[in-house]
């Protein structure tokens, strides 16, 4: 970005840690996460908000980080794929993605897991339609989605809630 | 020792890294002092380069600039022919052709600079269609615009027309399709003239890139190193084009002395890299009144784009699959791959077969109707049987039973009851429902003598700790290479899954096990893994260190003792063709493939006759694939392939404008989402194949072949409208329905 634009100081929380960043205000949140914070689990698939590979949570809402200027997240709480497991303990959705075959090439997987966990936090017992709608913003070219749907269902079962 | 992993859904080897975001793809890698690279492209579909100028307002002295004259070796992408330059020199033949490369540490400035490079190109008349190319309106490639042609002759097709009870003709077309892996193409290169060239990147075929870089830089094999980073999908789209990007990154690195990263954004990836070949197929079919095929004449043409790339081999597979899983005594196939001024078309799952099978499976429904049989009864009378010969004279030796697959698929989809019910209920309804199916096969591994030429090698190496490493160039691109190789090696050696390590493909340390294409990784390379594992075991047994009925602990002790007294414990295995396989390239006659996977797919659709939307409501995929190594991965391949083929049939429309992809965005090139796909129900039949690991065959491409014709057959069943091209966009359905209504009014 040209020198005429000054970097701004932005404070936000990322995966529970409060950070003070210097970034160009219109820099994409995606680039700040990947390049400044080296949180490369968030992927770029299209750069135009279609594929969902860059999905993160901003104050609990799922968002395409490629469409969010970093200035907009000042004061916000951000969660990325790196914040989903608890230490070595994977989240039930991550476990289910492994056991059901929900991840193939893996490039959509972080975004897909962010969307699936977000869905289950809002709707602990989703119907099939709710699962499909909840993941409709995340494109997967490998699986045909069947194993991803299965993984979401298995994750509900694993967390002890009955659909 | 125990054998217990094959056939079980063990966890994906690299699954944990993928679900936690820890897997490292090329764009996740950063090198100190790294520059970013960008490509300036022709924008003119055909012409002569008159000049290159660099616009004002850009600090050009900060940039590394590479043109054709900077190339140290040969200016072609080494593959089949040597016609495609790395950087255009004098002539341009498509509008995405690379002409100038730029590198700079600052991405944003790089993009401004890319736009400031002006190419002065004298335009020549371009060719964009198969017809214009065949008619030689302009000669744009070679002497006749033909990259390749084949002719297959069986029996005497000329004498059948006179005695045929029915002769049915038809023409069918398929459009281009973008692979649309979610990770775009990208490479990082380090190149130092006295040391050599190393690249890291997203790819299917490390040794293709290796070969191409050797020619580009005029370097010996040991001065070029290619390392695969985690790869976010390929589907054929990362078979050949990675050689181009690797070369570009390396040229910039060579000149600048710094590491250079080139990552395509989505628009560049969609527009510039290869897509599935558009096709046109003409059928003329002779049938007796009892519904037996007497003769088939097939004219199959694919649009190869501006350069040869893989078109001869795509054409070959499409040609051999064109007559499908049927017996016909007299067959003539003429096929051609033609040049146009579009970016070269290339490998995409199925590799020519989805095109020719779409045509055949639509055409056979037309033939069945003409002779008054149901589509299923007509096929039943003509399915190929063991002992019969294919169009290339291959005797079917395996115990294939297409009738059984058809029956099972029709039962599982409730085909008969549903077709009867829909026929009753559709009348007068706005939303009409229909059922359709397709029967097909897919040859596993390279065509003809391809595997013999490749002569692939796999190595296994044991450590003193009793761990076994698999060394192969076969890439994990999501399909499960790491996992199935581990299962195969572990079972052959009686070890645990976790005792097997798969080395990351790196040409400095793994042998050439061939490209990761053609449904060959499990069947061909997996067999080499199995053989090398057994070789390792024999070495240990022969040395006296490994007792019969050993435990993993016993294996570890044996490895330790062997390595202490004899040094490294390695075993390698090289491809040998199965006995009795013969192929003649000159006459195109013989055993085209060692074996085939066989399938019948059934689709249920709803067509809205007001909005022209088409929904697929249910999908049944029944296939015989030999032994299933991993049921979850195998089903995942079929489900993913069917979803991709639903896109091919209904959504994925590449819009061309003067030879450029006009809709090179995910916003307007539409692939199936989580709300678009039906339940995809997958059923396997397993007839073990003697020359695959544990009896496995290839299956990765199979699902791409049959879904599109099944869906379009279902659309016909629902509406009575016969559509002969894909994708079936709402507007083309609207047109077809209007034509049919007019015909009905006139009648």
What whole-number percentage of chain A has pLDDT above 90?
92
The confidence band for A162, taking pLDDT boundaries of 50, 70 and 90, is very low
Asked if residue B88 and residue B235 are part of one domain, the reply reads yes
The two tokens of residue B318 are: 């499409």
In this structure, is residue B304 part of a structural domain? yes
Neighbouring residues of B25: CB distance < 8 A, sequence distance ≥ 6: A43, A107, B183, B186, B202, B229, B230, B231, B232
Kindly report the nearest CA distance between residue A124 and chain B, in angstroms: 19
Kindly report the nearest CA distance between residue B719 and chain A, in angstroms: 27
Residues of A in contact with B671 (CB under 8 A): 139, 141
What is the β-pairing status of strands B224-228 and B196-201? parallel
Residues of A in contact with B233 (CB under 8 A): 104-105, 107, 141-142
Nearest to A5 by CA among A30, A31, A23, A32: A23
In this structure, is residue B151 part of a structural domain? no
Across the interface, of A106, A139, A149, the residue whose CB is closest to B671 is: A139
In this structure, is residue A27 part of a structural domain? yes
Among A52, A83, A114, where does a domain finish? A83
Kindly report the nearest CA distance between residue A137 and chain B, in angstroms: 8
In this structure, is residue A1 part of a structural domain? no
Nearest chain B residue to A86, by CA: B20
Which pLDDT tens digit goes with each residue over B632-662? 999 999 999 999 999 999 999 999 999 999 9
We report the CATH number of the domain holding residue A140 as 1.10.150.120
What is the β-pairing status of strands B146-154 and B680-685? unpaired
Q: How far apart are the first and last CA of chain B?
A: 75
- Residue A163: the pLDDT is 39
Neighbouring residues of B289: CB distance < 8 A, sequence distance ≥ 6: B165, B166, B371
In this structure, is residue B333 part of a structural domain? yes
In this structure, is residue A2 part of a structural domain? no
Residues of B in contact with A107 (CB under 8 A): 25, 181-183, 232-233
Asked if residue A78 and residue A15 are part of one domain, the reply reads yes
Asked if residue B474 and residue B345 are part of one domain, the reply reads no
- Residue B378: the pLDDT is 98
Domain region containing A110: 92-158
In this structure, is residue B68 part of a structural domain? yes
In this structure, is residue B217 part of a structural domain? yes
In this structure, is residue A58 part of a structural domain? yes
Residues of B in contact with A139 (CB under 8 A): 182, 666, 671, 673
Asked if residue B417 and residue B481 are part of one domain, the reply reads no
Asked if residue B397 and residue B308 are part of one domain, the reply reads yes
CB A147 to CB B635 under 8 A? yes
Domain region containing B481: 15-23+456-574
Our count of domains for chain A comes to 2
Among B232, B256, B272, where does a domain finish? B272
Kindly report the nearest CA distance between residue A109 and chain B, in angstroms: 6
The two tokens of residue B56 are: 């004002």
Nearest chain B residue to A141, by CA: B181
Asked if residue A49 and residue A106 are part of one domain, the reply reads no
Which pLDDT tens digit goes with each residue over B493-542? 999 999 999 999 999 999 999 999 999 999 999 999 999 999 999 999 99
CB A103 to CB B12 under 8 A? yes
Q: What is the dihedral of CA A100, A104, A107, A109, to 10 degrees?
A: 0
We report the CATH number of the domain holding residue A58 as 3.10.20.30
Residues of B in contact with A24 (CB under 8 A): none
Asked if residue B486 and residue B441 are part of one domain, the reply reads no
We report the CATH number of the domain holding residue B460 as 3.30.365.10
CB A43 to CB B183 under 8 A? yes
Asked if residue B120 and residue B263 are part of one domain, the reply reads yes
The two tokens of residue B161 are: 């027309």
Q: Is B228 helix (H, G, I), strand (E, B) or coil?
A: strand
DSSP H helical segments within B203-263, as ranges? 206-217, 241-256
Asked if residue B740 and residue B657 are part of one domain, the reply reads yes
**Residue B492 parent element (H or E):** helix B481-493
Residues of A in contact with B184 (CB under 8 A): 45
CB B265 to CB A47 under 8 A? yes
Asked if residue B346 and residue B287 are part of one domain, the reply reads yes
Asked if residue A118 and residue A101 are part of one domain, the reply reads yes
Nearest chain A residue to B184, by CA: A45
Asked if residue A69 and residue A37 are part of one domain, the reply reads yes
Neighbouring residues of B290: CB distance < 8 A, sequence distance ≥ 6: B381
In this structure, is residue B137 part of a structural domain? no
CB B665 to CB A48 under 8 A? yes
Our count of domains for chain B comes to 3
Among A33, A51, A83, where does a domain finish? A83
- Residue A12: the pLDDT is 98
Asked if residue B439 and residue B421 are part of one domain, the reply reads yes
In this structure, is residue A132 part of a structural domain? yes
Asked if residue B215 and residue B87 are part of one domain, the reply reads yes
Q: Is B471 helix (H, G, I), strand (E, B) or coil?
A: strand
In this structure, is residue B136 part of a structural domain? no
Residues of A in contact with B707 (CB under 8 A): none
The confidence band for A1, taking pLDDT boundaries of 50, 70 and 90, is very low
CB A142 to CB B478 under 8 A? yes
Q: What is the dihedral of CA B419, B420, B421, B426, to 10 degrees?
A: 70
What is the β-pairing status of strands B500-502 and B468-471? parallel
Cα dihedral across residues B508, B512, B517, B523: positive or negative: negative
Asked if residue A79 and residue A12 are part of one domain, the reply reads yes
Residues of B in contact with A99 (CB under 8 A): 9, 11
Model-level pTM? 0.98
Asked if residue A73 and residue A104 are part of one domain, the reply reads no
**Mean pLDDT score, A89-98:** 98
Asked if residue B466 and residue B440 are part of one domain, the reply reads no
In this structure, is residue A74 part of a structural domain? yes
Asked if residue A123 and residue A148 are part of one domain, the reply reads yes
Among B574, B609, B635, where does a domain finish? B574
Asked if residue B328 and residue B312 are part of one domain, the reply reads yes
Report, as ranges of residue numbers, the positions in chain B whose pLDDT lies below 70. Answer: 1-2, 747
Among A56, A83, A110, where does a domain finish? A83
Asked if residue A76 and residue A118 are part of one domain, the reply reads no
CB B405 within 8 A of CB B685: yes
- Residue B739: the pLDDT is 84
Asked if residue A109 and residue A46 are part of one domain, the reply reads no
CB B692 within 8 A of CB B526: yes
In this structure, is residue A3 part of a structural domain? no
CB A106 to CB B667 under 8 A? no
CB B632 to CB A147 under 8 A? yes
Asked if residue A97 and residue A72 are part of one domain, the reply reads no
């Amino acid at each position: 970005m040209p020198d005429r634009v000054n970097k701004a100081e932005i404070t936000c929380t990322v995966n529970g840690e409060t950070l003070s960043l210097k970034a160009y205000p219109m820099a994409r949140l995606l680039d700040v996460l990947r390049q400044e914070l080296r949180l490369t689990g968030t992927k770029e698939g299209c750069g135009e908000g279609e594929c969902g590979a860059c999905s993160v949570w901003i104050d609990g809402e799922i968002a395409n980080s490629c469409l969010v200027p970093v200035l907009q997240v000042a004061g916000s709480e951000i969660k990325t794929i790196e914040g989903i497991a608890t230490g070595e303990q994977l989240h039930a959705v991550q476990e289910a993605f492994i056991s059901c075959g929900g991840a193939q090439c893996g490039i959509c997987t972080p975004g897909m897991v962010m969307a699936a966990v977000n869905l289950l936090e809002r709707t602990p017992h989703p119907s099939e339609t709710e699962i499909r709608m909840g993941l409709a913003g995340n494109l997967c070219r490998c699986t045909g989605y069947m194993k991803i749907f299965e993984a979401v269902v298995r994750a509900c079962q694993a967390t002890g809630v009955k659909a | 020792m125990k054998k217990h992993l094959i056939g079980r859904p063990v966890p994906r080897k690299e699954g944990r890294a993928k679900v936690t975001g820890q897997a490292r793809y090329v764009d996740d890698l950063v090198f100190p002092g790294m520059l970013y690279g960008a490509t300036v492209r022709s924008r003119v579909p055909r012409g002569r380069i008159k000049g290159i100028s660099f616009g004002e307002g850009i600090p050009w002295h900060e940039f590394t600039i590479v043109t054709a004259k900077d190339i140290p070796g040969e200016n072609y992408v080494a593959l089949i022919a040597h016609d495609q330059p790395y950087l255009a020199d004098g002539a341009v033949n498509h509008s995405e052709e690379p002409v100038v490369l730029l590198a700079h540490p600052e991405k944003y400035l790089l993009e401004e600079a890319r736009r400031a490079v002006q190419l002065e190109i004298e335009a020549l008349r371009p060719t964009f269609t198969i017809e214009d190319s065949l008619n030689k309106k302009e000669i744009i490639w070679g002497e006749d615009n033909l990259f390749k042609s084949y002719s297959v002759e069986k029996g005497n097709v000329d004498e059948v027309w006179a005695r045929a009870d029915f002769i049915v003709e038809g023409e069918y077309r398929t459009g281009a399709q973008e692979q649309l892996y979610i990770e775009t193409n990208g490479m990082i290169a380090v190149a130092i003239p006295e040391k050599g060239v190393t690249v890291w990147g997203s790819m299917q075929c490390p040794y293709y890139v290796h070969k191409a870089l050797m020619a580009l830089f005029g370097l010996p094999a040991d001065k070029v190193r290619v390392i695969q980073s985690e790869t976010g999908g390929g589907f054929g789209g990362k078979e050949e084009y990675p050689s181009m990007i690797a070369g570009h990154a390396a040229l910039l690195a060579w000149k600048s002395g710094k590491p250079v990263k080139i990552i395509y954004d989505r628009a560049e990836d969609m527009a510039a890299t290869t897509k599935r070949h558009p096709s046109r197929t003409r059928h003329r079919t002779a049938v007796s009144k009892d519904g037996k095929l007497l003769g088939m004449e097939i004219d199959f043409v694919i649009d190869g784009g501006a350069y040869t790339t893989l078109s001869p081999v795509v054409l070959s597979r499409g040609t051999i699959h064109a007559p499908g899983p049927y017996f016909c005594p007299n067959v003539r196939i003429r096929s051609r791959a033609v040049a146009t001024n579009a970016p070269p078309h290339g490998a995409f799952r199925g590799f020519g077969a989805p095109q020719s099978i779409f045509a055949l499976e639509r055409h056979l429904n037309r033939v069945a109707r003409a002779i008054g049989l149901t589509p299923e009864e007509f096929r039943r009378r003509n399915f190929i049987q063991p002992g019969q010969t294919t169009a290339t004279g291959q005797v079917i030796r395996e115990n294939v039973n297409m009738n059984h697959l058809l029956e099972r698929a029709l039962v599982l989809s409730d085909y008969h009851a549903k077709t009867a019910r829909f026929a009753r209920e559709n009348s007068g309804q706005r939303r009409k429902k229909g059922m359709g199916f397709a029967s097909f096969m897919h040859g596993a591994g390279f065509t003809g003598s391809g595997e013999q030429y490749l002569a692939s090698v796999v190595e296994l190496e044991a450590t003193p700790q009793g761990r076994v490493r698999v060394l192969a160039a076969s890439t994990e691109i999501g399909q499960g290479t790491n996992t199935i190789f581990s299962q195969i090696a572990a079972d052959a050696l009686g070890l645990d899954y976790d005792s097997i390590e798969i080395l990351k493909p790196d040409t400095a340390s793994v042998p050439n096990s061939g490209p990761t294409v053609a449904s060959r990784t499990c069947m061909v390379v997996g067999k080499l893994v199995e053989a090398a594992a057994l070789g390792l075991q024999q070495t240990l047994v022969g040395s006296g260190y490994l007792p019969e009925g050993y435990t993993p602990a016993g294996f570890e002790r044996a490895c330790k003792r062997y390595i202490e007294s004899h040094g490294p414990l390695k075993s390698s295995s090289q491809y040998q063709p199965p006995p009795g396989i013969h192929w003649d390239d000159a006459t195109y006659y013989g055993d085209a493939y060692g074996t085939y996977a066989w399938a019948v797919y059934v689709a249920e659709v709803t067509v809205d006759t007001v909005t022209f939307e088409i929904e697929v409501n249910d999908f049944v995929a029944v296939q015989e694939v030999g032994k299933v190594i991993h049921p979850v991965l195998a089903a995942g391949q079929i489900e993913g392939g069917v979803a991709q083929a639903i896109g091919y049939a209904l959504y994925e429309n590449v819009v061309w404008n003067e030879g450029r992809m006009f809709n090179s965005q995910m916003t307007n090139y539409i692939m199936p989402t989580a709300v678009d796909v039906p339940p995809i129900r997958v059923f396997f039949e397993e007839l073990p194949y003697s020359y695959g690991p544990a009896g496995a065959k290839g299956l990765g491409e199979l699902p791409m072949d049959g879904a599109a014709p099944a869906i379009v057959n279902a659309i016909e069943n629902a509406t009575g409208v016969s559509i002969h091209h894909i994708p079936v966009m709402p507007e083309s359905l609207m047109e077809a329905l209007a034509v049919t209504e007019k015909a009905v009014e006139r009648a």
